[in-house]
Amino acid sequence: MSQAMATMGRPHRKAGVLEDERWFASALLFPTAVLLGLFIAYPFVEGIWLSLTNSRVGVPGHFVGLANFDKVWNDSIFRTAVWNTCWYTFITTVLKLVLGLWLAQLLNRNFKGKAWVRAFVLLPFIIPTVLSTFAWKWMFDPTFSVLNWMLFQLGFITTRINWLGEPGLAFASIVIVNVWRGLPFYAISLLAGLQTISPELQEAAAIDGANGWQRFRHITWPLLLPVTMVVTLFSVIQTFADFQLVYVLTGGGPANATHLFATYAYQIGIGTGLLSEGAAISLAIFPVLFVVVLTQLLYIRRVETR
Amino acid sequence: MVEGSRWRRWVSFYIPLTAFMVVLLFPFYWMIITSVRPDKELYRPWNAKNYNPFWTWNPTLEHIRMLLEETMFMTWLWNTMLIALASTIISLICGVFAGYALSRLRFRFAGMLGTGIFITYLVPQTLLFIPLADIIRDFHIGDTPWSLILTYPTFLIPFSTWLMMGYFKAIPKELEECARIDGATRWQAMIWIILPVAIPGILSAGIFAFTLSWNEFIYALVFLSSSEQKTVPVGIVSELVRGDVFFWGSLMAGALLGSIPVAVVYSFFVEHYVAGVTGSVKG
Amino acid sequence: MSRIARRRLMQAAGLSAAGGLTGILASGQAPAYAQSTTVHWLKWNDFVPAADELLRKKLIPEAEKQLGIKITLETINANDLQARTTAGIQSKSGPDLIMAFNSNAQLYADSLADVSELCEAIGPAQGGYYQIAQGNSNDGKRWISVPYCIIGAEVAYRKSWFKQAGWDQFPKTWDEYRAAGKKLKAAGHPLGQTLGHTFGDAPTFAYPMMWSFGGKEVEADGKTVAVNSKETIESVKFMTAFWKDAFDEGGLAWDDTSNNRAMLSGTISATLNGASIYIETLRKPDTYRTEDDKPMKEDILHGRLPAGPGGQYAFHSAQSTMVMGYSKNQKAAIDFLRWFHTEGNYRQWFEIQKGFSCGPAAMWEKDKMWDIDPVMEPYRDAAKYGRVPGFAGRANQKAAEALTKYIIVDMYAKAVQGMPAEDSVKWAEGELKKIYAA
């Protein structure tokens, strides 16, 4: 601290435009505003405009109002995609949360090799998604599935499981991969939360005769809530807009059973060249996500200010 | 901390932890085995006789050799590292500044701006990349690392701002007020007093940003075209998935080798990451 | 920034080496282009890797020398081509030449340079373009892309297993094929076919299946959706039963690579594919063996997709090269294509394909390359029997839309998964109507 003071030089009357709180704030926000304005706001507006026209690739088109949204709304595949996306986000989030909490509890104990285990746990989260999904694709492959081999050897199955081929199983497969990938993020972040809870609190409760569940319910969980909300928030946003995983694993098949918003938007916009309709599908995520996120944000704020 | 009788410890701790580890790490084991297994063994159906998926008696370095010699893997690795690092630094600077302004300074529209920045995080990439291609062209940065270094911050800034906001909020106001009474300017107070305290938060935002840039696929696919400019995920997918033949061995080797740098970063910083996340939500 | 500068410098250096003085000396004429003309050519990774090798090491350097331009070849994964094409067209910058698959060029017709002159020169000179090439590359008014090749789709099958099931020759009709498949599946060697969302092998099967029963997407006017006919329903019903009887049920999930692997590993007895399976067994005779440890290449033959009550058809995948409308190097790009499709130059590429690719025009049927290997014989004139998506109409933008949405493929996939044939056809009709009405 003293060193820091020294570099600040002699005390003198503060001057300069940056001393004004508003100007200082503007200056600090400037780089962000430029980058986001240029690379998000402008393309975003263009994207919205696109969704209101009838343009195709290379054909600018003209304004058609909400016709694309109307068309999309009556599209059975779109409805499947909406349903899939919501369901997918819900299931994976619950699974990641429950399993992540469990894993965090385990990691929070003291045991030999703790540091190693914590580092290894993160691996699924850090490997590029496209590449790990290729590995899963290889493991799910109907002809070469090592998972089937294991289940067969263990005596759970007698014929193969058609992982990516049956609509239900294909959906289960993308859920499995998503949970596998996202779990470490939950576990490590929740672990961080757990570490802020002082052991004395737990001990005191234990002395008062609270059992494990009661201690979790009344001490750990309330204290963990803020971090849980933030982690869930980020994860919901990412899961909702998930693209790479499905694109690589199933391409939305079989028969559209695994299409999500993003993959369907991509198929329509890029595969079929109907940019305007693809943009409309992409944008349709927005209100849904917005509501979900807003609720979470408000909730977090409430928790924070409590 | 591991308490209770022996069998209880096993049931409540060792068994579940081992199960978690096995499930989480199995795909990695599978990648390792695949990348050293000769093609002849790779193409065996799961129900074949003598199929032994977990081991190979004839390990080969052929796939790794192909990856290193016949593709520009090392160049990709270097590109990815450079791009991830540069965009992370840019996003951190923006995120720290913006987070500081939004959480510690009073001005009109602060709340609105904060929400606005966060909302940009919700805009789907699949919508953005076509209009973005326009901008990239206008700036003449197509097929250069700059096309990614400048676009990645769009999804990195929102969450680093957000994370930092939480972190800054937890730091008592008196800290910089004291400094300012001692004559420090606002800028000095921020740089020398508040930022050092916020380092764990910055680190964890940085690690997270680095991982996301390392992962990115669509922008890298669309904005880069020459092989020597590509990033690891795009390079591997575009050169090792050839028509109706996948080079499984090399593909898996690339996936593994391509995640090592991030793994190293994490193994150094995981404790900081944990500390940083905690700080950012304590307030 | 210095990195970029260095790259430019290197490019300039490469240019002067290839296209400079040596180029002038070799061709005996001064290059007609400014030194900076670089043609950027984007295509997929060839299914025959040796062909890309040939382009990079031999053909492109030769073309650079003779034409006095620089050519950059970029190859990517087939799935990602469309994203790049779209981004290029929308931002009006990107590769000068982009490969188009099947009728995709129709999606981009308004953004492509007119290549009629070139096509009208090559086609007639090489015995006339096939219907498939013409349908995919001509939008009815002009040529929008230059036909590159046609990837024949034939059924690769295991000779010995078919023999055991009582078939010395490949079945001629669907009923026969089904009978054979039933026996083969019972013997543990099912047929293999994908019905997933995959650009190659799924439509090449689903469309001919519909056509051979007399079904069609639209009437000849190209507007009236005609898929909901008793012929189509018949074909869907047949397929549903056929699937249960004879196919490997994993196929619903397969992508274009899966049937290759399944066939090479000996799990399936037959599958509709390009020649890549057989070519792979030729390349690695020690890796791919039959169950009695003979090289698998000796046990593979090819047959045409069987005939149905409506005839015998095929849907061969076509490749063509688009000269992008935004390109500033159109003339150089067209000159390069002209050079490449010259008989002598194209032949080098054609022969290294070993039959995986048929030429886009009839002349290439007679090439001596086909005499080398009798197993490849069925591919020789395969391209003759093909139809294009959108039949009985044209392979226009609407048809391309239906194709890229996998509607015909999903019509079969849904039925195979248990939806009544009438309903799945009705679903397809609804989807197609939406496309063709717009």
In this complex, which of A138, A226, A289 lies closest to B248 when CB atoms are compared?
Answer: A138
Contact B245 C91 (CB under 8 A): no
Check CB contact under 8 Å for B215 and A191: no
CB contacts, 8 Å: A75 with chain C: 434
Residues C100, C354 contacting (CB under 8 angstroms) = no
Give the span between the Cα atoms of B40 and B47, in whole angstroms.
Answer: 16
User: In this predicted structure, what is the pLDDT of residue B48?
Assistant: 67
Q: Count CA atoms closer than 13 A to B32's CA, side-chain side.
A: 7
* Within-domain flag for B20: yes
Are residue B27 and residue B42 in the same domain, yes or no? yes
Residue B1 lies in a domain: no
Quick one: which of C82, C258, C403 has its CA closest to A249?
A: C258
Residues 25-84 of A with CB under 8 A from B: 25-26, 28-29, 31-32, 35-36, 38-44, 46-47, 50
Q: Look at residue B50 in the predicted model and tell me its pLDDT.
A: 67
What is residue B277's predicted lDDT score, i.e. its pLDDT?
62
Would residue B77 count as lying in a domain? Answer: yes
DSSP H/E element including C302? strand C300-303
Give the minimum alpha-carbon distance from A287 to chain B in angstroms, rounded to a whole number: 10
Answer yes or no: do B27 and A16 touch at CB < 8 A.
Answer: no
The predicted pLDDT at position B134 comes to 83
- DSSP letters along A11-32, please? -----SGGGSHHHHHHHHHHHH
Do C92 and C43 belong to one domain? yes
Q: Are both C18 and C160 inside the same structural domain?
A: no
Decide if C178 is inside a domain.
yes
One DSSP character per residue, A90-113 reads: HHHHHHHHHHHHHHHHHHTS--TT
Contact C250 A165 (CB under 8 A): yes
Handedness of CA B89, B91, B93, B96 (dihedral sign): negative
For residues B82-108, give the mean pLDDT: 92
pLDDT of residue B114: 82
Handedness of CA A163, A168, A174, A179 (dihedral sign): negative
Count of domains forming chain C: 2
Which residue among A120, A139, A269 places its CB closest to the CB of B30? A139
Same domain for C311 and C231, yes or no, is yes
Q: What is the pLDDT of residue C27?
A: 42
Q: How many domains does chain B contain in total?
A: 2
A272 in contact with B at a CB cutoff of 8 Å?
no
Predicted pLDDT of residue C85: 92
Task: Say whether both C32 and C145 belong to one domain.
Answer: yes
- Answer yes or no: are the C-beta atoms of B251 and B240 closer than 8 Å: yes
Whole-angstrom CA distances from B157 to A178, B89, B98, B116, B278 are 24, 10, 9, 12, 19
Residues C311 and C321 in one domain: no
Residue B167, pLDDT score:
81
Asked whether residue C394 is domain-assigned, the answer is: no
Between B268 and B202, the more confident residue is B202
Tokens, residue A49 = 């405009």
Contact C376, C354 (CB under 8 A): yes
Which of B39, B137, B218 lies closest to C91 in CB terms? B137
How far from the centroid of its chain's Cα atoms is residue C108's Cα? 18
Helix runs in B53-198, H state only = 62-70, 73-104, 110-120, 125-138, 145-151, 153-169, 174-181, 186-188, 195-197
| Residue located via tokens 């979900």 | A292
Domain containing B115 equals 63-282
Distance from CA of B266 to the nearest CA of A (A): 7
Is the same domain home to C326 and C311? no
Residue C424 has which token pair? 């799945």
8-state DSSP, C30: -
Which stretch of A262-271, A289-298, B86-95, B185-194 has the lowest confidence by average pLDDT? A289-298
Contacts of A among chains (3+ CB pairs under 8 A) = B, C
How wide is the angle at C-alpha A88 spanned by C-alphas A85 and A92, nearest 5°? 145
Say which residue, C25 or B112, is predicted with more confidence: B112
Counting one residue from chain A and one from chain B, the pairs whose CB atoms sit within 8 A come to 310
Which residue range(s) make up the domain with C247? 154-315+405-437
CA dist A98 and A100 (Å) reads: 5
User: Which of B44, B60, B76 corresponds to the end of one domain?
Assistant: B60
Q: Which residues contact B234 (CB under 8 A, 6 or more apart)?
A: B217, B220, B221, B224
Can you give the pLDDT at residue C36? 65
Which residues of A are less than 8 Å from C258 in CB distance? 141-143
B70: CB partners within 8 A, 6+ apart: none
Option in C107, C265, C414 nearest A255 (CB): C414
On whether residue C383 sits in a domain, the answer given is no
Contact C82 A76 (CB under 8 A): no
**Same-domain check for residues B95 and B49:** no
Chain B partners within 8 Å of C2 (Cβ) = none
Distances C119 to A274, C144, C320, C382 between C-alpha atoms, Å: 28, 9, 11, 21
Instruction: Tell me the CA distances in angstroms from B84 to B152, B226, B277, C354, one per residue in order.
Output: 8, 18, 21, 43
Residue C378 lies in a domain: no
Q: How confident is the model at residue B243 (pLDDT cuts 50, 70, 90)?
A: low
In a structure prediction context, what are the per-residue pLDDT tens digits for chain A, which is 306 residues long?
444 444 444 444 455 777 788 888 889 999 999 999 888 888 889 889 989 998 888 888 889 989 899 888 888 889 999 999 999 999 999 999 999 999 998 988 888 888 788 888 888 988 888 889 989 988 888 777 888 888 888 888 877 788 888 888 999 999 999 999 999 989 988 888 888 777 788 788 888 887 878 888 888 888 888 778 878 888 888 898 888 899 888 888 787 889 998 999 988 888 888 889 999 998 888 888 888 878 877 777 776 555
Identify whether residues B27 and B122 lie together within a single domain: no
Cβ contacts (< 8 Å) between B225 and chain C: which residues? Answer: 40, 42, 74, 84, 94-95
Structure tokens at C211: 């056509």
- Domain ranges in chain A? 75-305
Say if C131 falls within a structural domain: yes
B21 with A121: Cβ contact below 8 A: yes
Are C194 and C115 within one domain?
no
CA dihedral for C118, C121, C125, C130, sign (positive or negative):
positive
Residues 74-103 of C with CB under 8 A from B: 74-80, 83-84, 86-88, 90-95
Is residue C244, in this structure, part of any structural domain at all? yes
Cβ distance of C413 and A254 shorter than 8 Å: yes
Which residues in chain C (5-34) have CB-CB distances under 8 A to chain B? 7
B203-222 per-residue burial string, b: 16 or more CB within 10 A, e: under 16: bbbbbbbbbbbbbbbbbbbb
Nearest CB partner across the interface for A139, out of B27, B127, B236: B27
Query: What is the CB-side half-sphere exposure of residue B174 using CA atoms within 13 A?
Result: 0
| Residues B46, B137 within the same domain | no
pLDDT of residue C57: 93
pLDDT at B4: 61
CATH classification of the domain holding C275: 3.40.190.10
Same domain, residue pair C350 and C235 = no
Q: Which partners does chain B have (≥3 C-beta pairs < 8 Å)?
A: A, C
Q: What is the pLDDT of residue A21?
A: 82
C226 and C88 part of one domain: no
Do B34 and B82 belong to one domain? no
pLDDT tens sequence for chain C (438 residues): 344 444 444 343 333 333 333 333 344 444 455 556 899 999 998 888 889 999 999 999 999 999 999 999 998 888 889 889 998 998 888 899 999 999 899 999 999 999 999 999 999 999 999 999 999 999 989 999 999 999 999 999 999 999 999 999 999 999 999 999 999 999 999 999 999 888 889 999 999 999 999 999 999 998 899 999 999 999 999 999 999 999 998 888 788 888 888 898 888 999 999 888 998 888 888 888 888 888 999 999 999 999 999 999 999 999 999 999 999 999 999 999 999 999 999 999 999 998 999 999 999 999 999 999 999 999 998 888 888 898 888 888 899 889 988 999 999 999 998 999 999 999 999 999 988 987
With contacts defined as CB-CB under 8 Å, which chain C residues touch B237? 77, 80
Residue B216's CATH number: 1.10.3720.10
**Chain A residue with the nearest C-alpha to that of C90:** A58
**C265 lies in the same domain as C183:** yes
The second-level CATH assignment, the architecture, of A75-305 is Orthogonal Bundle (1.10)
Q: Are C209 and C412 in contact (CB under 8 A)?
A: yes
Does residue B80 share a domain with residue B129? yes
ipTM computed for the complex: 0.86
Question: What average pLDDT does the segment B251-257 reach?
Answer: 89
End-to-end CA distance of chain B: 28
Q: Which of B18, B8, C271 is nearest to C280 (CA)?
A: C271
Q: How far apart are CA A260 and CA A242, in angstroms?
A: 8
Distance CA C141, CA C316 (A): 23
Residue in chain C closest to B241 (alpha carbons) equals C77
Query: Is-contact C113 C330, C-beta < 8 A?
Result: yes
Please report residues of B whose CB lies closer than 8 A to that of C42: 225
Using a CB-CB distance cutoff of 8 angstroms, which residues of chain A are in contact with residue B218?
243-244
